[in-house]
Amino acid sequence: MFQWGFASLNGLVFLLWKVAFGAKDGDLLSFMSDNFLLNFGNLNRRRWWTYLTSAFSHQSFNHLLPNLLAFNNYVPLALRFGMQPLELVLLSFGSAIAGSAACITHWRKENIYFTSCLGASGVVWGLGMTVTMLGPQTMIVCWPFPRKIQLWMFTLCCFSYDFFSLGVKRSRIGHAAHLGGMAFGAAFCLVRRQIERTRAH
């Protein structure tokens, strides 16, 4: 159920982008750009909600599909490890905002001011990190690896790739957003464990 809600939200925003581009609707395109892209222009105009809304925004199907597939793979694992739907909502929103904040911080550090960020990968990696910490030895099948690998190995490889790719100026991948989502996912899991320990006593 949660996966369908997430997919529907992202799918709706994707369709709005397609309508705006396809019909060359200037008003709709302006609305989408003003409300579903993270950039300094929107933040300077105090459109703070784009920290969140940009994380559910995709302009291409090749961007949308991998994020939805990854999210759909992680959610059943999260539920199997005892996470509740409300926790998934909080984790998703928190990872979205953390990913956006990391992206803005990286842009400032690198003096990158005329670009935009969008996509749910920060959310996906926030969930992925939490699931990895809950079940690090879970075996998964993941391309391009020919055999099953443990989840912690996959997550470590992805973290390393994003970390060492931060300095690539022309990369179209939001490495900082991925890392921001991962950081929130790790913090979320640690806080969740502490709350569970407190309740147990």
Give CA 21 to chain center in angstroms. Answer: 24
Neighbours of 200 (CB within 10 A): 6
List b or e across 21-52, with b for residues whose CB sees 16 or more CB atoms inside 10 angstroms: eeeeeeeebeebbebbbbbeebeeeebeebbb
Torsion, Cα of 15, 113, 173, 97 (10° steps)? -70
Alpha carbons 136 and 13: distance in angstroms, whole number? 33
Say if residues 94 and 188 touch (Cβ distance below 8 Å): yes
**Helix, strand, or coil (residue 149):** strand
CB count, 10 Å around CB of 201? 4
pLDDT for residue 80? 94
Q: Can you say whether the dihedral through the CA atoms of 31, 36, 38, 43 is positive or negative?
A: positive
Question: What tens digit of pLDDT does each residue of 50-72 get?
Answer: 999 999 999 999 999 999 999 99
Average pLDDT, the chain: 91
Q: How confident is the model at residue 112 (pLDDT cuts 50, 70, 90)?
A: confident
Report, in angstroms and rounded to the nearest whole number, the Rg of the chain calculated over CA atoms: 17
pLDDT at 180 (0 to 100): 97
pLDDT in tens, 167-200: 776 777 889 999 999 999 999 999 999 988 888 7
Residue 150 has φ and ψ, to the nearest 5°, of: -75, 145
pTM, two decimals, is 0.90
Q: What is the pLDDT of residue 125?
A: 97
Question: Residue 151: its pLDDT value, please?
Answer: 93
Residue 51 dihedral angles phi and psi, to the nearest 5°: -60, -35
- Give the helix ranges, DSSP H, for the chain: 2-22, 26-35, 40-44, 50-53, 61-80, 85-110, 121-134, 151-164, 175-200
